[in-house]
């Protein structure tokens, strides 16, 4: 097989969403502790993450967020200004969701203060919005691949939010001939319909295409479903799955470049 087109996932493949969220949590928590020194930062952080996850799936719109691929932590800061599908409804829901999450997390550490909950919610939004965190090898890897392959970004999420992330990492978008976002299509990875649409948009053949991503059950499972080869970026040395099996497993984007240089895949 001669690879001609490489499809890349965005979140936690090229940009570390986890690091960007953690940065916003750390700074917001530091502000809280400065106001309430008795609060243990780790205790509040654990309460916040727990409330964000457990509350999110109680909303009627949760199934839509799963379908498109929107996480609880994206709902803590995304504005979802898109006018299609159920994004207008989601935009309304997240306002109440955020207030509830922060209010309940504060209550978990013994603080009852709705104004403070609103303030630190806004702080989190500002900090997270301003920070997109590329992995240290993101640009060097893309530089090495850019002139040799057609690069396509295939990402789950709301178009407005994913485009904002790219705007905050302005050098990233230039590498991609096409940027395909699940919220524009109506289904997220691992839906084979989205992968087939991406192949069509890129004018690529599955036999000469490669999917690179960090999530077994979205990136790899979807590639499997349409017969596209895949590379799983397993930075955390997570366990393999019998359900979603990548053709190749690496620990970094640098290793993806090395794989393409050494292997006839």
Cβ-contact 247, 254 below 8 angstroms: no
β partners of residue 92: none
Answer whether the bond into residue 190 is a cis peptide, omega within 30°: yes
Q: Could you read off the pLDDT of 101-148 as tens digits, one per residue? A: 999 999 999 999 999 999 999 999 999 999 999 999 999 999 999 999
pLDDT band at 249, cuts 50/70/90?
very high
Residue 151 has pLDDT above 80, yes or no: yes
Whether the per-residue pLDDT at 247 is higher than 90: the answer is: yes
- Is the pLDDT at 263 greater than 70? The verdict is no
- The superfamily CATH assigns to domain 5-16+134-262 is HAD superfamily/HAD-like (3.40.50.1000)
How far is the C-alpha of 94 from the C-alpha of 26, rounded, in Å? Answer: 21
Query: At 262, is the pLDDT very low, low, confident or very high (cuts 50, 70, 90)?
Result: confident
What tokens were used for 127? Answer: 């900090």
Contact at 8 Å (CB) between 230 and 210? yes
Structure tokens that stand for 116 in this block: 């403070």
Half-sphere exposure of 62 (CA within 13 A, CB side): 11
Within 8 A by CB and 6+ apart from 215, the residues are 9, 12, 189
Secondary structure percentages of the chain, helix, strand, coil, to 5: 55, 10, 35
Residue limits of CATH 3.40.50.1000 in the chain: 5-16+134-262
The pTM assigned to this predicted structure is 0.96
CB atoms within 10 A of CB 262: 8
């Amino acid at each position: 097989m001669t690879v001609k087109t490489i499809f890349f996932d965005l979140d936690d493949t090229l940009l570390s969403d986890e690091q960007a969220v953690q940065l916003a949590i750390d700074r917001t928590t530091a502000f809280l502790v400065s106001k309430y020194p008795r609060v243990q930062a780790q205790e509040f952080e654990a309460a916040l993450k727990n409330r964000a996850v457990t509350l999110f799936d109680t909303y009627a719109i949760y199934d839509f967020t799963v379908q498109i691929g929107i996480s609880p932590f994206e709902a803590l800061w995304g504005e979802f200004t898109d006018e299609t599908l159920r994004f207008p409804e989601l935009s309304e829901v997240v306002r109440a969701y955020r207030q509830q999450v922060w209010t309940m997390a504060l209550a978990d550490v013994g603080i009852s203060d709705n104004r403070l909950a609103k303030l630190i919610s806004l702080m989190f939004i500002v900090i997270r919005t301003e920070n997109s965190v590329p992995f240290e090898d993101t640009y060097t890897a893309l530089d090495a691949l850019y002139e040799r392959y057609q690069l396509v970004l295939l990402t789950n999420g709301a178009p407005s939010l994913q485009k904002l992330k790219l705007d905050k990492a302005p050098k990233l978008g230039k590498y991609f001939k096409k940027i395909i976002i699940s919220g524009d299509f109506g289904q997220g990875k691992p839906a084979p319909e989205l992968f087939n649409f991406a192949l069509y948009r890129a004018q690529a053949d599955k036999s000469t295409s490669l999917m690179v991503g960090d999530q077994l059950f979205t990136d790899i499972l979807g590639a499997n479903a349409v017969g596209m080869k895949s590379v799983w970026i397993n930075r955390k040395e997570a366990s393999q799955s019998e359900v979603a099996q990548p053709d190749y497993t690496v620990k970094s984007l640098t290793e993806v470049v090395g794989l393409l240089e050494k292997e006839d895949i």
